[in-house]
Amino acid sequence: MRTASTQQEIDGVQQRIKSHGLSPHLSPGTERTIIGVLGQIFPELKDELERLPGVAEVVRISKPYKLSTREFREEDTTIAVGSVVIGGIKPVIMAGPCAIEDENQLMATAKVVKEEGAEILRAGAFKPRTSPYSFRGLGVQGLKLLAKASKTFDLPVVTEVMSSEDVGMVSSYADILQVGTRNAHNFNLLDAVGKVDKPVLLKRGFSSSYEEWLLAAEYILSGGNSQVILCERGIRTFEQYTRFTVDLAAVPVIKKLSHLPIIVDPSHSTGSWDLVTPISLAAIAAGSHGIIVDVHPNPTVAKCDGAQALTFENFRTLSTQIRSIAEALKAIPTEPGKSG
């Protein structure tokens, strides 16, 4: 819409869109209002809408995803979870054990990660394990412990939801709902988390292209939930040395294609604790809005993913180094043409 367009003109455009059985999606920005059109778009629509009063320009977005694109929303989306802002200048550290094992393990980890600068506690109660014989999590009992840790240490929590039937229940404990890599194509689950008023951390499917990943986000956004955080967690390639191959180019590419925040999981991508620090630092240097990292009081006895968990001491070092990188980044120009 034109900068000076009136409310009546904005309403008029929305009505015309609806008259064709399509859905308007309003995005009021600081500069101008953008109206997205969702549905089966016919070619003549562009000309028709361009003739309406108040319309500045009609842009056909050829990409199959719309709501997540920069064309749809120019400014970065920021997501507030309590007083924590995800998607802003300050990188956010989400840390905690891969799985909730017992109260002591969770509380001890939550205490340390909080003291060392983590702003979100991560921990799984429902674990999607490759083998059905592996530890699959404490379920609801784990969520109750998570709520206790959250309250005790004043830390919002992110935890995985594995099925659409569980979305309501997990939402009553979680501040951020996590959709795991194995569920990145579970369209019923994506639809279900699209209908709740909670931010969603959407892991990249381990064989998803950027387009498939953003289309998964589109399910959530088009359901009415605009709070999506993307998470690069490694993809499957021919390389077998690391657990998955972490694709750090995803950070600047996604930031170019989309307004959504993006973070990196250095733990599930590499699978080795000694690779977690270098990959985390590289992720932040590449512009990641944060990291989600596994930390355990005693990784050697962890019931899940111990090989990739950081000890408290290693987490402390990582956290300090992240602060230095974040500090240094302030000097890097983000707008083209300003680098001289």
Q: Which residues bind to ligand PEP, rule: CB under 6 A?
A: 98, 124, 128, 160, 180-182, 203, 233, 265, 268
From 10, 34, 35, 98, residue interacting with Mn ion (rule: CB under 5 A): 98
Shortest distance (Å) from residue 309 CB to Mn ion: 9
Token reading at 293: 């990292």
Interface map 44-73 toward Mn ion (x if CB under 5 A)? ------------------------------
Shortest distance (Å) from residue 311 CB to Mn ion: 16
Token reading at 109: 């980890």
Does residue 264 belong to the site contacting Mn ion (CB under 5 A)?
no
Q: With CB under 5 A, what is the number of residues at the site for Mn ion?
A: 2
Q: Distance between CA atoms of 198 and 200, rounded to whole angstroms? A: 6
* Nearest residue (CB) to Mn ion, 166 versus 294: 294
* Nearest residue (CB) to ligand PEP, 233 versus 296: 233
HSE on the CB side for 300, CA within 13 Å?
A: 0
Please, are residues 199 and 86 in contact by the beta-carbon 8 Å criterion? yes
Query: Which residue matches tokens 């059985």?
Result: 21
Q: Distance between CA atoms of 225 and 331, rounded to whole angstroms? A: 34
State in Å, rounded, how far the first CA of the chain is from the last one. 34
Token reading at 307: 């090989």
Shortest distance (Å) from residue 330 CB to ligand PEP: 30
Shortest distance (Å) from residue 138 CB to Mn ion: 14
Token reading at 233: 């967690």
* Nearest residue (CB) to ligand PEP, 25 versus 203: 203
Torsion angle of alpha carbons 98, 89, 28, 188, nearest 10°?
-10
Token reading at 27: 């995005």
Does residue 305 belong to the site contacting Mn ion (CB under 5 A)?
yes
* Nearest residue (CB) to Mn ion, 243 versus 259: 243
Count of residues making up the chain: 340
Shortest distance (Å) from residue 232 CB to ligand PEP: 9
Please, are residues 325 and 280 in contact by the beta-carbon 8 Å criterion? no
Does residue 94 belong to the site contacting Mn ion (CB under 5 A)?
no
Contact residues for Mn ion, defined by CB under 5 A: 98, 305
